[in-house]
C-alpha cells in the first residue's frame, strides 16, 4: 500500500472500522513507515485527550429534565383526553344513529305488518258478517255526520259513483285498539273497505300495495290521514280509488 493511500485510512484504522483486508494492508504499511506510525500514534493520543474534555451534566440538570418532561406530560394530557373524548363521542353518536335507524326500520316494518293483518282481518270479518255497513247511504252528507260521536275525528266522505266506485256506507272499526272510520265502496261486485284515521306524520307517504291471500292491500298518507284500502280488486283499480280519495 502506498503511503498517501494509507494516510487516509489511518484514522479509520485507529477506530478499527476498516475491512479485514484494508486493516491488514494498513497494519503492514505502518510497520515499515514511521510517518504513518507516528500519525496513528498521534491520533490515538488526541483521542484520549479529546475524551478528557468530556463535560458531565450539572448536578441539577436531571431534576430540571424531569420537571420539563412532567410539564410536557401535563400539557399533553388534556389535549390527548380531549381528542379521545371527541373520537368516543363521534363513535357513540354513530352507534346511536345506527341503532335508531335499525329500530325505526324494524319498528315501521313490524307496525306495517301488524296493521296489514288488522285491516285484512277487519275486511274479511266485514264480509263474513254479511253486514259490512252500519250506516247505509250513498250520500256523503249522511255518512259523515253519522260518525260524529262514534269516532274522535271527522273523516272525509265522498261518493265516487261517477267514477265507478259507488259509496255503500260506513261503519266503525277497531284497528290497533282505536276506533277508526271504515268507508265501504263497491266496484262491480267487489266490496272495498277503506279504513282511515288521523296521523301525526305530516309527510306524504308513498302508496304501497301488497297482496295477501288474494286480497289487495293499499296504504297511503295524505292530508293528515292514513288510509288503508282492502279488497279483492286488482292493484290497478285500487290505485284508481286512491287517486279519487
Partner 1 sequence: MVSRSRFEELVIPHRNAAFNLAYWILQSRDDAEDAVQDAFVRAFRAFDAFAGNGARSWLLAIVRNVAYSALDARKRSRNFVVLSDDMRSLSVSDLEQMPSDDPSPEAVVAADDEHIRLLNELARLPLIHRDILVLREMEGLSYAEIAQITGTAIGTIMSRLSRARAELRKALARQVPKVRSDAL
Q: What share of the chain is helix, strand, coil (3-state, %, to 5)?
A: 55, 20, 25
- Our finding on whether 81 is near partner 1 (CB under 8 A) is no
Site for partner 1 contains 62 (CB under 8 A): yes
Q: Which stretch binds partner 1 (CB under 8 A): 42-50, 89-97, 172-180, 223-231?
A: 42-50
Collapsed DSSP state (helix, strand, coil) of residue 216: strand
Residue from 5, 28, 42, 139 touching partner 1 (CB under 8 A): that is 42
Q: Kindly state the smallest distance separating residue 74's Cβ from partner 1, in Å.
A: 11
Please pick, from the candidates 32, 68, 102, 211, the single residue that binds partner 1 as defined by CB under 8 A.
Answer: 68
| Per-residue binder mask for partner 1 (CB under 8 A), 3-32, x = binder | -----xxxxx--x-x---------------
User: Binding of partner 1 at residue 2 (CB under 8 A)?
Assistant: no
Nearest 5°: phi and psi at 156?
A: -80, 125
Candidates 2, 31, 34, 55; binder of partner 1 (CB under 8 A) is 55
What is the sign of the dihedral through the CA atoms of 185, 188, 189 and 192? negative
Least CB distance from residue 91 to partner 1, whole Å? 19
Q: Is 55 helix (H, G, I), strand (E, B) or coil?
A: coil
Tell me the site size for partner 1, rule CB under 8 A. Answer: 34
Of 47 and 145, nearer to partner 1 (C-beta) is 47
Whether residue 114 contacts residue 173, with contact meaning beta carbons closer than 8 Å, is answered with: no
Cell 292514513 found at? 226
State yes or no: residue 49 binds partner 1 (CB under 8 A).
yes
54 is an interface residue for partner 1 by CB under 8 A: yes
Work out whether 107 is an interface residue with partner 1 (CB under 8 A): no
b/e 15-37 (16+ beta carbons within 10 angstroms → b): eeebeeebeebbeebbeebeebe
Of the candidates 171, 165, 223, the residue with the CA atom closest to the CA atom of residue 195: 171
Distance of alpha carbon 24 from alpha carbon 1, whole angstroms: 10
At 172, phi and psi to the nearest 5? -100, 135
Task: List residues binding partner 1 (CB under 8 A).
Answer: 8-12, 15, 17, 39, 42-43, 46-58, 61-62, 64-66, 68-69, 71-73, 76
Amino acid at each position: 500500500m502506498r503511503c498517501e493511500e494509507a494516510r487516509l485510512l489511518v484514522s479509520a484504522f485507529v477506530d478499527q472500522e476498516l475491512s479485514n483486508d484494508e486493516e491488514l494492508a494498513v497494519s503492514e504499511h505502518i510497520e515499515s513507515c514511521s510517518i504513518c506510525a507516528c500519525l496513528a500514534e498521534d491520533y490515538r493520543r488526541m483521542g484520549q485527550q479529546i475524551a478528557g474534555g468530556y463535560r458531565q451534566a450539572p448536578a441539577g440538570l436531571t431534576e430540571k429534565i424531569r420537571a420539563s418532561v412532567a410539564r410536557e406530560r401535563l400539557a399533553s394530557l388534556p389535549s390527548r383526553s380531549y381528542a379521545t373524548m371527541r373520537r368516543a363521542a363521534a363513535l357513540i353518536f354513530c352507534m346511536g344513529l345506527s341503532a335508531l335507524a335499525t329500530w325505526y326500520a324494524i319498528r315501521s316494518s313490524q307496525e306495517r305488518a301488524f296493521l296489514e293483518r288488522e285491516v285484512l282481518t277487519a275486511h274479511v270479518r266485514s264480509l263474513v258478517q254479511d253486514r259490512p255497513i252500519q250506516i247505509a247511504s250513498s250520500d256523503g252528507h249522511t255518512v259523515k255526520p253519522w260518525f260524529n260521536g262514534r269516532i274522535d275525528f271527522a273523516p272525509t266522505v265522498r261518493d265516487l259513483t261517477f267514477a265507478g266506485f259507488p259509496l255503500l256506507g260506513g261503519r266503525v272499526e277497531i284497528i290497533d285498539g282505536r276506533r277508526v272510520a271504515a268507508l265501504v265502496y263497491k266496484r262491480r261486485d267487489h266490496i272495498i273497505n277503506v279504513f282511515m284515521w288521523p296521523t301525526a306524520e305530516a309527510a306524504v307517504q308513498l302508496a304501497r300495495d301488497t297482496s295477501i291471500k288474494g286480497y289487495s292491500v293499499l296504504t297511503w298518507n295524505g292530508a293528515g290521514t292514513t288510509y288503508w284500502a282492502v279488497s279483492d280488486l286488482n292493484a290497478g283499480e285500487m290505485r284508481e280509488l286512491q287517486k279519487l280519495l
